[in-house]
């Protein structure tokens, strides 16, 4: 077991949500999506953590309890297809190849959907700052 050297918020969002980078001695860093009540999800990749935050923003927030390994929270499942694609792509156990196979689309098309979702999340955050 290693000691935590430092935790730093690398992204901050409305309502007390943030992504925290945990620097770990001798091991790869971890990235945590956190809310007012604590840690929500942990990632080994900061891009996946940011994508997860984008999905949370666009979907208006969601809880993952009892969704199962391949399931999606109701707020995500009932959203547009790009939200569901991005949700799956953000999961630590999912690959882009799995997402493209699941939706039977070329990888570049899935990436376009994800870029679109990220743009919408940025716009929603900007609008909430006004």
Give per-residue pLDDT as tens, 12-28: 998 899 999 999 999 99
Full residue range of the structural domain in which residue 83 is found: 4-129
Q: What is the pLDDT of residues 47-88, one digit of tens each?
A: 999 999 999 999 999 988 777 665 899 899 899 999 999 999
- Which helix (H) or strand (E) segment holds residue 24: the answer is strand 18-24
- When pLDDT is cut at 50, 70 and 90, the band that residue 1 belongs to is very low
Question: 59-72: b or e for each residue (b if 16 or more CB lie within 10 Å)?
Answer: beebeeeeeeeeeb
- Give the count of domains, the chain: 1
């Amino acid at each position: 077991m290693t000691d935590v050297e430092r935790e730093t918020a690398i992204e901050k969002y409305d309502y007390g949500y943030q992504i925290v980078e945990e620097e770990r001695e001798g091991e790869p860093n971890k990235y945590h999506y956190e809310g007012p009540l604590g840690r929500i999800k942990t990632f080994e990749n900061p891009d996946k953590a940011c994508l997860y935050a984008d999905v949370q923003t666009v979907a208006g927030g969601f809880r993952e309890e009892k969704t199962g390994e391949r399931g999606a929270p109701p707020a995500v499942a009932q959203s547009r297809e790009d939200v569901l694609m991005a949700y799956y792509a953000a999961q630590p156990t999912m690959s882009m190849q799995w997402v493209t196979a699941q939706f039977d689309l070329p990888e570049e098309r899935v990436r376009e959907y994800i870029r679109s979702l990220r743009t919408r999340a940025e716009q929603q955050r900007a609008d909430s700052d006004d």
